[in-house]
Structure formats: structure tokens, C-alpha cells
A and B are shown apart, each in its own frame.
Chain A
Amino acid sequence: MSEPILSVRDLSVVAQVEGTTHTIVDQVSFDLQRGEILGLVGESGSGKSMTSRALIRLLQSSRLSVSGGSAILKGEDIFTFDERAMRDVRGGSIGMIFQNPSSHLDPVMSIGKQIAESIRFHKAVSRKEARGRAVEILRQVGIPDPERRYNAYAHEFSGGMRQRAMIAVALACDPDILIADEPTTALDVTVQAQILKLLTDLRDTRGVSIIFITHDLGIVSQICDRVAVMYGGRIVELGGKREVIGSGRHPYTAGLVACQPAEGHPGERVRTINGQPPRIGHMPAGCRFHPRCPRVDEWCSTVCPDLVTSGPGHQVACHHPIPHTPAEAAT
């Protein structure tokens, strides 16, 4: 396998709340290959957004901080960078797309100018050239009549168009990695399908790697190559989407798949996972999932399982993973 474009090791994020320290992201490790779409799935509070924000060091509060780990981007650990170097990474090597484009686009600056601004910030080009590139990017993300739309403001765009505009801003400096944090959650399904198509097309044409954060397993199945399932701030399962979704070995992954409303017959009760996801400050000891787990024993409540290899390219953090083959049952 070729050298990964991004290699994250033991990333931890902590929050200081009223004098106590809570771990929100706990020793997260993963590799991102060139041209790969990696899905980061989990419920609210699982730490999936926090992981991505920690990578570009845009944590929303001063009480949050990265407490350890490394992130090797093209041979350099970006966690050792100072703020100045970090600014080159954000928007330069790593582009970001968020759930709500209206609050991440400048309302008083035209869409085209925002793209050109980003290009001129990162690259020494003339205004005219930046404008030309911005129009070209607007065309690539499927905005009709880009010459005229260059001067349009965010409020003049519809929801889907605004999301395209934000993708254009993220792509302005030809990043190696795109972090997409629930980019389609606020969109209608038909528009969502358009945006997902656009992102996979961009991966195919530009070779950009995408970290796709979502809670929707359907989206993961459709566009991701590999998927990392997060629970309580930790990655509990990581592997190819077929292995993880089709024959997930962590009871949480299997539970998530089973509770999709599409799995089952009309009128039949939906399978559920008992209890609630853990809240910050109330993290259970041992395996984070053990209070809700059907396969729990005493061991689970004391020792937190590590992510270990359970098959080719497939890792799971569970003391009692679900067996799918006789060989797995024997281990």
C-alpha cells in the first residue's frame, strides 16, 4: 500500500469544565490514503466532528485542547506547527465543508471574491488570475453561469447552490484533503444526491482525499471506501465499508445497522439499542459501550479494549466481537 496522505496517531482532545478535565476524543488513530473517501460515523457526541476540527485546530472553545497525538501530513506533523504555519494548512492542504453553508460563508462578500481571496492568500497570483481560477472552480462545482454568479452573494443562492459554493471555496487552493462535516444533512434528499455525486466526481477527477463525517450509514455505503465507527470519543471499528457495514464485528456497529428503519418489514418494531449514548463527564469505565451492549461481561466494565486487527484491513475494539465465520468464532 502506498504512503498515506494523512496519518493520525493517538489523537486526544480534552475539555476543561469547571476545573475537571474530560476526554472528548480518546486516542484516535487512522490513515487516509490518496484519493480515498473515509467515512467517520457515529451519533451526536461521539467525537466525530471534534476529531476533524482538532486536525485543523479549529476547536470552537478555548476550553478545548488537543492533549496528545500526532497527525503526519505529507511527512510533517501538523500538531507541531505554529499558528502561522497552520494557516497555510487550512484552506491550503486541507479544505473544509460544513453542514450549514449560510453560517460559514461571508454574507457581505460575493461568492467569487471569497474564492479569489483564498487563492490570493495561499498563492502568489494576480487579482485577474485569481478571478479566472475562481470562475473555473465555480464551473467545476456545477454552478450555472459562473461568470455572472461570481458577483452573487450567499443569500442569492439556494441551499444546494450554497453548499456547492462552499465546496468551491474549499477547493480554491487545490487541497489534498477535504474534510466534509455532515455536508448534506440540511439538504433535501434529491439535492443531497447531487452533492454526493459532485463529491465523488471531484475525488475521481482531482484525486482529492475526503474525510466524510456523517451519521447516515446509507451515505457511507454509497460513497465511502472505508469507514471508522466512533462511539464515546473512540474509534470502535475501522475497515472497508463492506466488512464494517455488511459484517460488522463490534456490537455497536451491528446495532446501528440493525436499527436502520429500512431494515425490516412495514409495521414491524424497529430494532433499537437500549439506553442513551454517554454524555461528557459521564463516560462509563472500561468499554464505553458496555452499559448498552448485549455481549457484555465483567471484563468489559473494567478494561477498555484496544483497536486490534481482526481481518485484512479490518480493526475492532471489542473483547467479544461478533463472529461471522467459523475462523472468527474460534478466536
Chain B
Amino acid sequence: MNVKPAPLLEVTGLNVHFGGTGFIPGLRTPPLRAVNDVSLAVMPGETLGLVGESGSGKSTLGRAILRLGELTSGEIVFDGTDMARATVGDLNRLRRQSAMIFQDPYGALNPRMRVGDAIAEVLRVHRKVPSSRIGSRIAELLNLVGLDAGYANSRPLDLSGGQCQRIGIARALAVEPKLIVADECVAALDVSIQGQILNLLMDLREQIGMAIIFIAHDLAIVRRLCDRVAVMYLGRIVETGPTEEVFTEPRHPYTASLLRAIPDIDPDRGLPENPLAGEPPSPIALPCGCAFHPRCPNALPDCSTGEPPRLGRDGPHRAACILPPGEIRI
């Protein structure tokens, strides 16, 4: 019997709540539940897509996983250690083995720092290479992301958005991470440049074998890049599974409406007849029952009461919906 490999990252019951201050009953402000009881696992070398609309908590979840943001409760087991209750030493290890790529490539770089210095800083802080080798390692990293070593002397403002994003990726790779969280890292780029960065991520994944959590709202990109996908709505994962299965046979009405809403390049498809009505409600006052029920085209009376449905436990493709799988169509 094959032993199932241990996941690189296992998140269990993660909650991130903001605010909610006050001790006097009646005057308490309710907390904003950005991430609600989220569980997920990432295998070594795997790419997990995290999709959802703005305010669904996908970025907050990504930051909490790397302990760049606060968390309220839950477990984040990274490589065998629970980082939610980590010591300073454990956190340092997490920082050396994980990295983040940000959306705004200009905002993520210090405009006064030369590109080479920005990468050297990472190498020095994490003592990745002896100081005599820093120069050659910078050149290696720049080559890895498809830039000439001469770019080490330029400053971010001299570079295009795509080049800056490559620098951002080079900085992330400098720590030789096992896990990268890429937060909307191609959303700000032009289509012709977007492809270059996506291909770079695919190449690097093959060469280095790191795991990627790819946060995006563009489902077409996620379908191209990711092995598995998790769909979030108002802080909860409502559906997760192998990418192709989720895209062809969605089991949650929200996933189905997202798929329907993507503008398709096929001119014969036209606009969806009945786009999903309304907008996501405020995460401060979540509706009772399933948070999606006020917008759901298939909602039943049971959907508006009780606890929100939990993700099923059967198989790799799971959805948090009480409807039978056959009911939902794209």
C-alpha cells in the first residue's frame, strides 16, 4: 500500500475576525468575519487556486497562512509545525520557507532601491548565501525570471509593470521557498504580459517544485494554472476540488454563476440571460443559514435557517450546499 504523502500545509478551522470590541452587552460591535472556519490542504509542489469576489476573504486567508496577518483561531500546520501557535524560531523558519508575490508590482518594491539591492536584502536577512556570493546569486535569480543580469542596477521606475513583477518573483524565489502565496499577481498587467508571467510561474513550478497558492478573481487564468481550486464566498470555502472537475461540473450554485458570468471570447455565446442578482452582503451582518441564499437561484426554505452548510467530506470534489449535485447547471 502506498503511503499518502504528508501535505506541506494543512489549515484546519481557521477564523480571522476583525474588530468586535466592547464588553458591555448591547454596545458590543459585531466582528467582521473575514475568514470563517476554513480548512484546506496543499501538497508539496501543488498549485491551489483561491477564487472569489472582492470581500470574500481570499487575500486575508493568504496573509493569515503566511502569518503576515492576525488570526483569531484555528490551526495552520506548515511542514509539521502549527504556525498558529508558533514560537519566534518557528516563525523565522516559516519566513525562510515561504514567500508572497503581491498585486501591485510597483508598490511592492522600494522606489529608491536598485533592483539588485532589493534582492540582496532578502539574501542577507535570511543568510541564504555568503556575502561574497551575493552578486552572482542576484544574477542567477534575475536570469531565472527571464531578465538580464544588467537589470540589477536599474530602479523600479525605469521598468515596466511586467519587469517589476518579475523582480517581485525573483525576490520571492531568493528565499528558495517551499510555498509561495501569489495574491492577484497578474491582475494589474496587460494581457500580452500576463501570459509571460503565467508561463514563468509554470516553468518555475517545474524547475523548483514549490507549492503555490494562487489568489485570483480571473477564473480563466486559474483553470490554466492550478491543479486544484477552492471557491470562497463571504469568508467560507463553498466548493473545492480538482480544477477541471469544478469548472465542468460545479456543485455549488455560486460557482456555477461565477462561471456563467465570465465574458467569453466566443461571439455566439452572448451575455448571460439572468446574471446573478444583487451583490455580496456585508461580512459584518452575515445572513442566517447559507450566506449565499439571498442571491441563490436554487434556494430552498431550509437554506435560510440554521448553521451554514459544511463542506462535504466525500472525495476530492466537495461543496457546501444541500442541493444534490445534479440540480446545478452552468
Q: What residues of chain A have their CB less than 8 Å away from a CB belonging to chain B? A: 43-44, 158-161, 188-194, 196-197, 200, 215-219, 221-223, 241-242, 245-246, 255-257, 259-264, 266-273, 276-277, 279
Check B258 against A262 for contact (C-beta < 8 Å).
no
A217 to B243, CA, bound (A): 23
For chain B, residues 48 to 107, give those with C-beta under 8 angstroms from any C-beta of chain A: 53-54
Residues in A neighbouring B6, C-beta threshold 8 A: none
Looking at the assembled complex, report how far the CB atom of B18 sits from the nearest CB atom of chain A, in whole angstroms. Answer: 19
Closest-by-CB residue of A relative to B263 is A218
Looking at the assembled complex, report how far the CB atom of B155 sits from the nearest CB atom of chain A, in whole angstroms. Answer: 16
Residues in A neighbouring B272, C-beta threshold 8 A: 193, 197
Check B267 against A221 for contact (C-beta < 8 Å).
yes
Check B195 against A262 for contact (C-beta < 8 Å).
no
B232-264 to A contact mask, C-beta < 8 Å, 1/0: 000000000001100000000000011011111
Looking at the assembled complex, report how far the CB atom of A265 sits from the nearest CB atom of chain B, in whole angstroms. Answer: 8
Residues in A neighbouring B225, C-beta threshold 8 A: 266-267
Looking at the assembled complex, report how far the CB atom of B222 sits from the nearest CB atom of chain A, in whole angstroms. Answer: 9
Looking at the assembled complex, report how far the CB atom of A62 sits from the nearest CB atom of chain B, in whole angstroms. Answer: 23
From A161, A219, A255, B192 is in contact (CB under 8 Å) with: A255
Check A259 against B195 for contact (C-beta < 8 Å).
yes
Residues in B neighbouring A160, C-beta threshold 8 A: 279
A198 to B223, CA, bound (A): 28
A272 to B200, CA, bound (A): 11
| 11 interchain pairs, CB-CB under 8 A | A188-B217, A188-B279, A193-B260, A194-B276, A217-B191, A221-B266, A221-B269, A222-B269, A256-B191, A256-B192, A268-B224
Is B194 in the interface zone, CB < 8 Å from A?
yes
Check B191 against A215 for contact (C-beta < 8 Å).
yes
Residues in A neighbouring B196, C-beta threshold 8 A: 272
A242 to B199, CA, bound (A): 29
Residues in A neighbouring B280, C-beta threshold 8 A: 188
Given A190-B53, A218-B264 in contact, is the A197-B275 Cβ separation under 8 Å?
A: yes
A260 to B270, CA, bound (A): 18
Given A43-B190, A215-B190, A245-B265 in contact, is the A267-B224 Cβ separation under 8 Å?
A: yes
A188 to B160, CA, bound (A): 26
Check A189 against B271 for contact (C-beta < 8 Å).
no
Given A222-B269, A222-B271 in contact, is the A190-B224 Cβ separation under 8 Å?
A: no
From B53, B160, B195, A189 is in contact (CB under 8 Å) with: B53
Nearest 6 A/B pairs, CB to CB: A218-B263, A193-B275, A270-B195, A188-B53, A272-B195, A262-B220
A263 to B224, CA, bound (A): 9
Check A221 against B264 for contact (C-beta < 8 Å).
yes
Residues in A neighbouring B221, C-beta threshold 8 A: 261
A269 to B198, CA, bound (A): 8
Residues in B neighbouring A217, C-beta threshold 8 A: 191, 265
From B218, B223, B271, A223 is in contact (CB under 8 Å) with: B271
Residues in A neighbouring B53, C-beta threshold 8 A: 188-191
Looking at the assembled complex, report how far the CB atom of B252 sits from the nearest CB atom of chain A, in whole angstroms. Answer: 14
Check B263 against A222 for contact (C-beta < 8 Å).
yes
Check B192 against A259 for contact (C-beta < 8 Å).
yes
B261-298 to A contact mask, C-beta < 8 Å, 1/0: 11111110111100111011000000000000000000
Check B276 against A190 for contact (C-beta < 8 Å).
yes
Looking at the assembled complex, report how far the CB atom of B294 sits from the nearest CB atom of chain A, in whole angstroms. Answer: 13
For chain B, residues 151 to 201, give those with C-beta under 8 angstroms from any C-beta of chain A: 160, 162-163, 190-196, 198-199
User: Which of B218, B244, B271 gathers the greatest number of chain A CB atoms within 10 Å?
Assistant: B271
Residues in A neighbouring B299, C-beta threshold 8 A: none
Looking at the assembled complex, report how far the CB atom of B235 sits from the nearest CB atom of chain A, in whole angstroms. Answer: 15
Check B261 against A43 for contact (C-beta < 8 Å).
no
Given A241-B267, A260-B191, A261-B218 in contact, is the A269-B275 Cβ separation under 8 Å?
A: no
A123 to B282, CA, bound (A): 39
Is B322 in the interface zone, CB < 8 Å from A?
no
A217 to B262, CA, bound (A): 11
Given A188-B53, A261-B194, A277-B192 in contact, is the A269-B202 Cβ separation under 8 Å?
A: yes
Looking at the assembled complex, report how far the CB atom of A171 sits from the nearest CB atom of chain B, in whole angstroms. Answer: 20
Check A194 against B277 for contact (C-beta < 8 Å).
yes
Residues in A neighbouring B202, C-beta threshold 8 A: 267, 269
A256 to B263, CA, bound (A): 15
Check A270 against B258 for contact (C-beta < 8 Å).
no
A266 to B275, CA, bound (A): 26
Given A259-B191, A267-B224, A276-B160 in contact, is the A246-B267 Cβ separation under 8 Å?
A: yes
Looking at the assembled complex, report how far the CB atom of B203 sits from the nearest CB atom of chain A, in whole angstroms. Answer: 8
Residues in A neighbouring B267, C-beta threshold 8 A: 221-222, 241-242, 245-246
A278 to B162, CA, bound (A): 13
Extra A-B contacts (15), CB below 8 Å, given A222-B263, A261-B220: A43-B190, A43-B192, A44-B190, A189-B258, A189-B262, A191-B53, A194-B275, A216-B263, A221-B263, A221-B266, A221-B269, A245-B267, A266-B243, A270-B199, A279-B160
A255 to B196, CA, bound (A): 13
Looking at the assembled complex, report how far the CB atom of B267 sits from the nearest CB atom of chain A, in whole angstroms. Answer: 4
From B195, B261, B271, A261 is in contact (CB under 8 Å) with: B195
Given A188-B54, A241-B267, A266-B244 in contact, is the A261-B198 Cβ separation under 8 Å?
A: yes
Residues in B neighbouring A223, C-beta threshold 8 A: 271
Residues in A neighbouring B271, C-beta threshold 8 A: 193, 196-197, 200, 222-223
Residues in A neighbouring B199, C-beta threshold 8 A: 269-270, 272
A218 to B272, CA, bound (A): 13
Check B275 against A262 for contact (C-beta < 8 Å).
no
Check A193 against B276 for contact (C-beta < 8 Å).
yes
